[in-house]
Amino acid sequence: MLILFDHSTPAPLSSYLTGHTVIEAKDRGWDRLSNGDLLAEAERAGFDILVTADNNLAYQQNLEGRKIAIVVITRNSWRLVQRVVRKIVAAINNAEPGSYTEIEVASR
């Protein structure tokens, strides 16, 4: 799958996503786009999944009818994200077009 990491997603996570192609939004010059514009650009470019730590995405955007799957991790500290990396990988591997999955990352 083609996966887009937004600016809030810890880059080291990509090394756990074997068999997928991961591109960071900043590599496309999309790191300054608003969420709505980022989702639209990602869909136009053929991305399958957006991974983000923006917990407000579902409240800020109408996600109905989207083709891209969205995986939200609730924190972006790599130290904390590492603890649930298996859950994140599973969510990405099982993502369906248009799905929305939130992975809780505990603060301790």
> Over the stretch 65-79, which tens digit does the pLDDT of each residue have?
788 999 999 999 999
How many structural domains are present in the chain? 1
Domain enclosing residue 95, as ranges: 2-103
Domain annotation covers residue 68: yes
The token pair that represents 71 in the structure block: 């995986």
**Residue 58 confidence class, pLDDT cut points 50, 70, 90:** low
35 inside domain: yes
Backbone torsions φ then ψ of 5, nearest 5 degrees: -95, 125
- Report yes or no on 38 lying in a domain: yes
Calpha distance 107→94 (Å, rounded): 25
DSSP label at residue 48: S
pTM of the model: 0.92
* Nearest-angstrom CA–CA distance, 48 and 26: 17
Residue 108 lies in a domain: no
Would 75 be classed as within a structural domain?
A: yes
Return the H-helix or E-strand segment holding 37. Answer: helix 35-44
